[in-house]
């Protein structure tokens, strides 16, 4: 009587599989691997700078040459482990953009990427040269994310994933390992849709996938240090936006369908100083707030980037009258 030969079970799990599993275990929602090298969008980025769209963000042109090649920011690295972490696109809109209501994502993602780096060292039994980046260096992370298969560039310039939308943070761990890369995300699923372009209240999306940051409400309420230009005050007043803007993401069909609610005990859950407050209530509280109160209530918050004086400026515009 014939029979099949005995099959011995062997593990076919690769290092790349283990990295993905570990990253998911650390709370990341997307994980991809990309080979480092020349960045596809570097010429576009250079033209964007030449057109003056960076405004007062002088750190962007300062290290522009390093953004052209992802091997340059940290010597000796060869691969990127690119991650994304959702911050709750199903949460209600409000005067503070969703990404800024809880703990600073730079700190959250950086700590978890460092944990992933430490795990890699232990797993391989040797030192692994590498560095974590979360908007903390001259790296075109969105470009790396597309190369790692995590999504396409939407017309609002955000990276969009077909099953997650765009309400997520990006980070990358650059390492000196030759890892097998994922397939780049090659297709574009925006089609003829222009909802984001049409909905932007300041017409900051000057053409598909080109954002003039100097017109963007997020830039005006966070990065701009002086007075908000008079031409935008009425719009910010009517929009009741104190810090950041989610409008171009809110109207995206991919977010309408796939955005998620925040999980329980998320580090991005709104802190008490913000939770449940409408624009006028929050604006009045900010205008009355002392520096000591601000430092206490917003410790570890990304909103500290605008400083209290910037938030008071924004609050005054939201409350009006507009001059």
Instruction: Give the catalytic positions in this structure.
Output: 135
- For residues 321 and 124, give the distance between their C-alpha atoms in angstroms, rounded to a whole number: 62
Dihedral sign for Cα atoms in the order 127, 129, 134, 140? negative
285: Cβ contacts below 8 Å, ≥ 6 apart = 273, 277
In the numeric block, the tokens 């940290």 are attached to: 74
Concatenated DSSP letters of 211-277: E-GGG-HHIIIII--SPPPHHHHHHHHHHT-SB---HHHHT-HHHHHH--PPPTT-TTSPPTTTTT-
CB count in 10 Å sphere of residue 183: 9
In the numeric block, the tokens 């989610």 are attached to: 246
Phi, psi of 307 (to 5 degrees): 60, 160
Inter-residue contact 147 to 177 (CB < 8 Å): no
* CA distances for 63 relative to 34, 45, 146, angstroms: 22, 12, 22
Tokens of 186: 């090659």
The b/e string for 44-57 (b: 16+ C-beta within 10 A; e otherwise) is: ebeebeeeebbbee
Dihedral sign for Cα atoms in the order 290, 296, 299, 302? negative
């Amino acid at each position: 009587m014939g029979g099949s030969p005995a099959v011995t079970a062997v593990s076919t799990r690769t290092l790349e599989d283990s990295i993905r599993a570990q990253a998911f275990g650390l709370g990341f929602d997307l994980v991809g691997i990309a080979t480092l090298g020349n960045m596809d969008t570097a010429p576009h980025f250079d033209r964007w700078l030449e057109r003056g769209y960076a405004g007062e963000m002088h750190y962007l042109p300062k290290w522009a040459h390093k953004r052209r090649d992802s091997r340059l920011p940290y010597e000796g690295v060869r691969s990127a482990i690119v991650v994304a972490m959702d911050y709750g696109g199903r949460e209600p809109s409000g005067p503070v953009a969703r990404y800024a209501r809880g703990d600073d994502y730079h700190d959250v993602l950086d700590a978890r990427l460092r944990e992933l780096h430490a795990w890699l060292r232990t797993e391989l039994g040797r030192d692994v040269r590498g560095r974590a980046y979360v908007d903390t260096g001259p790296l075109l992370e969105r470009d790396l994310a597309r190369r790692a298969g995590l999504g396409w560039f939407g017309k609002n310039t955000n990276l969009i994933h077909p099953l997650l939308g765009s309400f997520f943070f990006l980070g990358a761990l650059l390492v000196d390992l030759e890892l097998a890369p994922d397939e780049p995300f090659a297709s574009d699923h925006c089609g003829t849709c222009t909802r984001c372009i049409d909905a932007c209240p300041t017409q900051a999306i000057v053409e598909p996938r080109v954002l003039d940051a100097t017109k963007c409400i997020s830039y005006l309420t966070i990065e701009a240090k002086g007075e908000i230009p008079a031409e935008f005050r009425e719009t910010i007043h009517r929009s009741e936006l104190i810090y950041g803007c989610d409008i171009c993401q809110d109207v995206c069909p991919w977010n309408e369908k796939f955005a998620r609610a925040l999980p329980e005990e998320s580090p991005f859950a709104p802190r008490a100083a913000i939770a449940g407050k409408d624009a006028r209530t929050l604006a009045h509280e900010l205008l009355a707030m002392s520096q000591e109160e601000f430092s206490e209530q917003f410790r570890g918050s990304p909103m500290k980037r605008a400083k209290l004086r910037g938030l008071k400026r924004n609050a005054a515009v939201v409350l009006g009258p507009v001059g």
